[in-house]
């Protein structure tokens, strides 16, 4: 029967497909016993499910090609090995045979036993392997519950799960997953950012999803407004068709703006840079006429693998971004691992009590021997192929930026002596995303060449509201007087010192906020190419002088409601 489930739109696009439910890591299965006579049948049920998963993994492996085959293949091979692991299989059989547990409950017990073994390991890398066990056991559990044996492979399906890690998303897309629905998560998480980059519709915070949706159910998902319709009726299907057509029409209209300048109605030119994570993003940014790449998140090179990328591998990646942008500036952000961007290489700590306030960003790069130097060498070498800038994440003090500047100087000197052809000057910038950096900006602005405001984190740290915690609801918002005042202060300080300043958080990619950022004096935006044309259209509809004149009223706003009221006057 039709049912509408609410969620939050995190990556736009609509999808119609069958659900593939992946249960949360800690399997919530109550203790269940079977009769001695049912043991053989239970074992057959379990092993049929394991065989199904094995076949699916092989089929998936065969479908992968190109770069993904290498990256994702490694991950799949590990899971296939785990499926054949005698420890895992014999343990399950024994629980059913001698403990007279159901296959379901045996999976849960076995998972918890292995989790306890892994949790006791010294090595952070091995400790993190429990995620793989969870995924394999989760797959077997899902296969046990497949109601309908004709549910096709994952291609064309909508994944319904508790949460999804950034590293998994590319894999899911390569499997043909059309959309993802999560019961937890937030639209500001790195997973959501990556989903937008992959144009993979994502709905987060759908709290009822795992309760209500079963494997094989037909779902309609709208990643824009967050609506999920279970077993859609004729009216829903019609709405889906119309929506798909409307989106195609809108895309066509926006397409016409590809070659138009980003100029306000009163003739002020605004620069739109692109946030890029992949080669496809770079190609799209170039095609849409972005002024350059304003934020290249290098941590994606470090995810979903077990060893660190060496200098040459990093160099090739950065060089290709420079070549892809054909002479337009490319801003490479140094590694921002940590918090929700945990890697498999063991670089970032996995057991920090408060990871958002822990060893992430520049702190981690400086704490690990040789890590920063290798990355800076790769970036500086790539500067021989096009204009490059270095952007440092999570700066909180003048000392950090001075340390980076010295290291950059040393690396540049070394590379020149080694005979590399590199840029004469590589601008060094700081992400302003920690309130301390925003407030103390005058103390270190002299040591940087440009700045980029990371509103995703600046909102989180200013309002003490976790960007990934959906339970906080409206508490996480850029529409807070404290944030507007900080933004205004940063932009004024930068302007007074003649330093370019951009906003590169998700706020810059939301056309609704364009008038507000222009009013505060922002002239550079860095945003994902997926919304670049929408933001260009919004800016082209703005009167710059009128917005600037209305900035004092905006800064006087005392609460979210009055900021929204201010915005409403300018919404197009
Ligand atoms: C930000 O914090 O706004 C930002 C752009 O960095 P990230 O989202 O990668 O933390
Ligand atoms: Mg950030």
Distance, CA of 62 to CA of 348 (rounded, Å): 32
Q: Is the CB of 336 under 6 A from ligand 1?
A: yes
Chain centroid to Cα 196, Å, comes to 8
Q: Give the pLDDT band of residue 350 (cuts 50, 70, 90).
A: low
Give bridge partners of residue 218 from the DSSP assignment. 18
**What integer is the mean pLDDT of 126-140?**
72
DSSP 335: P
> Which of 2-6, 140-144, 206-210, 253-257 has the lowest average pLDDT?
140-144
State yes or no: is 523 an active-site residue.
Answer: no
State yes or no: is 190 an active-site residue.
Answer: yes
Residue closest via CA to ligand 1's atom 8 equals: 456
Chain centroid to Cα 283, Å, comes to 19
Q: Is the CB of 505 under 6 A from ligand 1?
A: yes
Q: Is the CB of 456 under 6 A from ligand 1?
A: yes
| The ligand 1 atom nearest the CA atom of 458 | 2
Ligand number nearest to the C-alpha of 454: 1
Looking at the predicted structure, is the pLDDT value of residue 363 above 50?
yes
Q: Is the CB of 299 under 6 A from ligand 1?
A: no
Which secondary-structure segment (H or E) carries 69?
Answer: helix 66-83
Ligand number nearest to the C-alpha of 275: 1
Task: Answer yes or no: are the C-beta atoms of 518 and 542 closer than 8 Å.
Answer: yes
Distance, CA of 181 to CA of 17 (rounded, Å): 12
Residue closest via CA to ligand 1's atom 6 equals: 454
Distance, CA of 489 to CA of 486 (rounded, Å): 5
Strand 8-11 and strand 202-204: the pairing is antiparallel
| The ligand 1 atom nearest the CA atom of 336 | 9
Q: Among 422, 394, 397, 387, which residue's Cα sits nearest to residue 408?
A: 422
Is the domain defined by 260-569 classed in CATH 3.20.20.60?
yes
Task: Answer yes or no: are the C-beta atoms of 157 and 178 closer than 8 Å.
Answer: yes
Q: Is the CB of 455 under 6 A from ligand 1?
A: yes
Looking at the predicted structure, is the pLDDT value of residue 196 above 90?
no
Question: How far from 558 is each of 53, 480, 565, 566, CA to CA, in Å?
Answer: 56, 8, 11, 11
pLDDT tens per residue, range 527-570: 999 899 999 999 999 999 999 999 999 999 999 999 999 999 88
CB atoms within 10 A of CB 150: 6
Pocket test for ligand 1, best of 505, 509, 525 (most atoms within 8 A of CB): 505
Distance, CA of 79 to CA of 135 (rounded, Å): 8
Query: DSSP letters of 122-167?
Result: S-HHHHTTHHHHHHHHHHHHHHHT-S-TT---STTEEEEES---HH
Q: 401 vs 308, which has greater pLDDT?
A: 401
- Beta-carbon contacts of 562 under 8 Å, excluding residues fewer than 6 positions away, are none
Looking at the predicted structure, is the pLDDT value of residue 158 above 60?
yes
Is the domain defined by 3-23+152-249 classed in CATH 3.50.30.10?
yes
Q: Considering the candidates 8, 286, 504, 542, report the single residue annotated as catalytic.
A: 504
Looking at the predicted structure, is the pLDDT value of residue 66 above 80?
no
Distance, CA of 297 to CA of 456 (rounded, Å): 14
Distance, CA of 300 to CA of 191 (rounded, Å): 11
**What integer is the mean pLDDT of 36-59?**
85
Phi, psi of 463 (to 5 degrees): -95, 0
Q: Is the CB of 223 under 6 A from ligand 1?
A: no
Q: Which residue has the tokens 């991950």?
A: 75
Ligand number nearest to the C-alpha of 299: 1
Tell me what pLDDT residue 152 has.
41
Distance, CA of 434 to CA of 459 (rounded, Å): 9
Q: Considering the candidates 190, 286, 528, 544, report the single residue annotated as catalytic.
A: 190
Distance, CA of 236 to CA of 242 (rounded, Å): 10
pLDDT tens per residue, range 222-258: 998 899 999 999 999 999 899 888 888 888 889 999 9
Strand 271-276 and strand 292-297: the pairing is parallel
Distance, CA of 277 to CA of 275 (rounded, Å): 7
* SS3 of 246-284: HHHHHHHHHHHHHHCCCECCCCCECEEEEEECCHHHHHH
Q: Considering only CA atoms, give the Rg of the chain.
A: 25
Q: Is the CB of 460 under 6 A from ligand 1?
A: no
Task: Answer yes or no: are the C-beta atoms of 452 and 503 closer than 8 Å.
Answer: yes
Biggest CA pair distance of the chain: 82
| The ligand 1 atom nearest the CA atom of 295 | 5
Dihedral (CA of 404, 294, 379, 372) sign: positive
What spacing in Å lies between the alpha carbon of 499 and ligand 1's midpoint? 20
What spacing in Å lies between the alpha carbon of 559 and ligand 2's midpoint? 25
What spacing in Å lies between the alpha carbon of 298 and ligand 1's midpoint? 12
**What integer is the mean pLDDT of 179-204?**
85
Task: Answer yes or no: are the C-beta atoms of 360 and 336 closer than 8 Å.
Answer: yes
What spacing in Å lies between the alpha carbon of 460 and ligand 1's midpoint? 10
The per-residue b/e assignment along 371-409, b for 16 or more CB within 10 angstroms, e otherwise, is bbbbbbbbbbbbbebbbbbbbbbbbbebebbeebbebbe
Q: 63 vs 12, which has greater pLDDT?
A: 12
| Residue boundaries of the structural domains of the chain | 3-23+152-249, 260-569
Which tokens sit at 306?
């077990």
């Amino acid at each position: 029967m039709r049912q509408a489930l609410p969620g939050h739109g995190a990556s736009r696009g609509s999808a119609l497909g069958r659900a593939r439910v992946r249960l949360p890591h800690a399997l919530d299965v109550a203790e269940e016993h079977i009769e001695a006579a049912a043991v053989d049948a239970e074992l057959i049920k379990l092993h049929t499910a394991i065989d199904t998963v094995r076949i699916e993994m092989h089929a998936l492996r065969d479908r992968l090609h190109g770069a993904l085959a290498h990256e994702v293949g490694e991950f799949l091979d590990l899971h296939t090995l785990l499926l054949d692991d005698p420890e895992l299989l014999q343990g399950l059989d024994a629980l059913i045979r001698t403990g007279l547990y159901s296959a379901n409950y045996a999976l849960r017990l076995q998972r918890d036993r292995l989790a306890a073994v892994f949790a006791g390991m010294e090595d952070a890398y091995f400790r993190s392997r429990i995620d793989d066990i969870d995924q394999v056991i989760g797959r077997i559990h899902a296969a046990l519950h497949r109601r309908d044996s004709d549910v096709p492979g994952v291609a064309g399906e909508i994944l319904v799960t508790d949460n999804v890690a950034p590293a998994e998303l590319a894999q899911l897309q390569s499997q043909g997953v059309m959309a993802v629905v999560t019961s937890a998560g937030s639209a500001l998480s790195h997973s959501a950012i990556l989903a937008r980059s992959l144009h993979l519709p994502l709905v987060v915070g759908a709290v009822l999803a795992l309760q209500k949706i079963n494997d094989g159910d037909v779902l309609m998902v709208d990643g824009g407004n967050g609506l999920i319709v279970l077993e859609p009726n004729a009216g829903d299907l019609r709405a889906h068709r119309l929506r798909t057509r409307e989106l195609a029409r809108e895309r066509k209209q926006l397409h016409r703006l590809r070659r138009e300048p980003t100029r306000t109605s009163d003739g002020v030119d605004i620069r739109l840079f692109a946030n890029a994570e992949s080669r496809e993003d770079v190609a799209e940014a170039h095609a849409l006429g972005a002024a350059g790449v304003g934020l290249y998140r290098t941590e994606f090179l470090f995810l979903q693998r077990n060893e660190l990328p060496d200098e040459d591998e990093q160099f090739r990646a950065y060089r290709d971004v420079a070549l892809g942008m054909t002479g337009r500036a490319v801003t490479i952000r140094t590694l921002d691992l940590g918090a929700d961007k945990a890697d498999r290489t063991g670089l970032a700590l996995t057991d920090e009590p408060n990871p958002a306030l822990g060893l992430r960003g520049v702190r981690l790069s400086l704490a690990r021997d040789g890590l920063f130097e290798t990355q800076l060498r790769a970036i500086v070498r790539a500067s021989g192929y096009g204009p490059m800038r270095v952007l440092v994440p999570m700066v909180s003090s003048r000392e950090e930026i001075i340390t980076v500047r010295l290291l950059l100087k040393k690396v540049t000197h070394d590379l020149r002596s080694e005979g590399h052809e590199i840029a004469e000057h590589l601008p060094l910038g700081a992400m302003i995303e920690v309130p301390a950096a925003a407030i103390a900006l005058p103390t270190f602005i002299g040591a940087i060449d440009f700045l980029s405001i990371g509103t995703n984190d600046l909102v989180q740290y200013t309002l003490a509201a976790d960007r990934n915690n959906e339970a906080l609801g409206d508490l996480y918002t850029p529409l807070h007087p404290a944030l507007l005042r900080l933004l205004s202060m940063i932009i004024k300080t930068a302007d007074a010192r003649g330093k370019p300043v951009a906003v590169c958080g998700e706020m810059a990619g939301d056309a609704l906020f364009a008038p507000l950022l222009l009013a505060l004096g922002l002239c550079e935006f860095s945003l994902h190419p997926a919304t670049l044309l929408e933001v260009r259209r919004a800016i082209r509809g703005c009167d710059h002088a009128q917005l600037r004149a209305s900035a004092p009223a905006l800064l006087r706003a005392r609460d979210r409601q009055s900021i929204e009221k201010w915005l409403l006057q300018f919404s197009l």
